[in-house]
Amino acid sequence: MRAELVKNVSRVVLKLGTGVLTDDRKQPDLAQMAQLVAQIAAQCQAGKEIVLVTSGAVGAGMGVLGYEKRPSDLAELQACAAVGQSRLMATYEKLFAQSHLQVAQVLLTHDDLEHHERHLNARNTLVSLLGHRVVPIINENDAVSFTELKFGDNDKLSALVACLLPADLLIIFTTVDGVIENFGKENAKILATIEQVDQTIERLASGTTSATAVGGMTSKIQAAKIVIRAGIPLVIASGKKPDVLARILGGEEEGTIFIPQPNRLKGRKRWIAFFHHPKGSLFVDDGAKKALREAGKSLLPPGIAKCDGDFSAGEIVRLCDLNGTEFARGICDFDSGTIKNRELPRAEVVHRDNLVIL
């Protein structure tokens, strides 16, 4: 199964977590970074296209500005990110140069990928860099992005970058060996393959307590949901092991692999499904849910039980069932006022072509 999934992989998004890049004192671990870069460079030289999503800016900046714990003040956190990001890039540039590879820094905010033209533009930039055999190194533009408008964490950012390109494979390197059942207990076991992210899997993941990291396994599972829906496989593995990248790309059993859903989403549908913070939700009755999920229909006015939030016509909304569970996203052809006042004509409210079942 693994060998089959990675056989034709040529474009990879690789996320390096803070824990993988720093030592026990939370300082950038140069020996570790060097061994990772050597592995990545070897794959680039063998013809793979690798896009890095790196964390560690805040962590590196904390060291420089003398913080032991992540500062809670936003401006201080952003100051750490700004100081640390340039340190991080300087290190990558030096290490990749040893393998005669050029790197490029790309700092993204959520807005850059939400707006459709900017989304396509960011994609074109990354593809051009890969065409020049440059290694793009992406991080969130933490120095300026606000809490409410953030990607949230770099696991999610890496999933979105994989959807943006699109990549053939997402790899997340962390400090543990994969998704682990009975973590910390005697009968702990790595789950080699995950075919479906259900509640059992979600429960396995617990938040992190590290002083520098952000998301722990929970955010990785959320990232998994995005890419597997898009049709892209994900491997979560330890970035501290020698040769781990070559082993993964060689189809060997390393970490946990998430099997993608078979119906790969096209670019516009990926953009509709994953790149927005919707301003509103439409709650639909069971009949409408069934017609949308099972019969491939558009959403019509009678199926809408409730509308929440304020949005304009043409914006993306969540489609939820009556329990409040989101099951789809789509572009709504009417504004929230018209829907709330029941002034809708007999027309599609969310057209099938503009809708993705999640």
Residues that bind ligand GLU (CB under 6 A): 17-18, 55-59, 81, 139-140, 142, 153-154, 213-215
Map residue 274 onto helix, strand or coil.
Answer: helix
The upper half-sphere exposure of residue 194, i.e. CA atoms within 13 Å in the direction of its Cβ, equals 29
Q: Which is nearer to ligand GLU, 110 or 329 (CB)?
A: 110
Q: With DSSP H G I counted as helix, E B as strand and the rest as coil, what are the percentages for the chain, rounded to 5? A: 40, 20, 40
Please report how close the Cβ of residue 327 comes to ligand GLU at its closest, in angstroms: 27
Please report how close the Cβ of residue 333 comes to ligand GLU at its closest, in angstroms: 36
The upper half-sphere exposure of residue 39, i.e. CA atoms within 13 Å in the direction of its Cβ, equals 20
Please report how close the Cβ of residue 275 comes to ligand GLU at its closest, in angstroms: 17
Q: Which is nearer to ligand GLU, 18 or 354 (CB)?
A: 18
Please report how close the Cβ of residue 17 comes to ligand GLU at its closest, in angstroms: 6
Q: Which is nearer to ligand GLU, 1 or 149 (CB)?
A: 149
Please report how close the Cβ of residue 266 comes to ligand GLU at its closest, in angstroms: 28
Q: Cα 151 vs. chain centroid, distance in angstroms?
A: 8
Q: Which is nearer to ligand GLU, 70 or 351 (CB)?
A: 70
Reported as type and span, the H/E element at residue 40 is helix 30-45
Q: Which is nearer to ligand GLU, 142 or 333 (CB)?
A: 142
Contact in structure between 234 and 172 (CB atoms under 8 Å) = yes
- In a 10 Å sphere around its CB, with 0-12 CB exposed, 13-18 middle and 19+ buried, how is residue 76 labelled? middle
Map residue 18 onto helix, strand or coil.
Answer: helix
Alpha helices in 231-332 (DSSP H): 244-249, 267-274, 286-294
Please report how close the Cβ of residue 142 comes to ligand GLU at its closest, in angstroms: 5
Q: How far apart are CA 302 and CA 290, in angstroms?
A: 14
Reported as type and span, the H/E element at residue 155 is helix 154-164
Q: Which is nearer to ligand GLU, 165 or 172 (CB)?
A: 172
Please report how close the Cβ of residue 308 comes to ligand GLU at its closest, in angstroms: 29
Q: How far apart are CA 80 and CA 54, in angstroms?
A: 15
Q: Which is nearer to ligand GLU, 223 or 320 (CB)?
A: 223
Q: How far apart are CA 334 and CA 106, in angstroms?
A: 36
The upper half-sphere exposure of residue 83, i.e. CA atoms within 13 Å in the direction of its Cβ, equals 16
Q: Which is nearer to ligand GLU, 39 or 139 (CB)?
A: 139
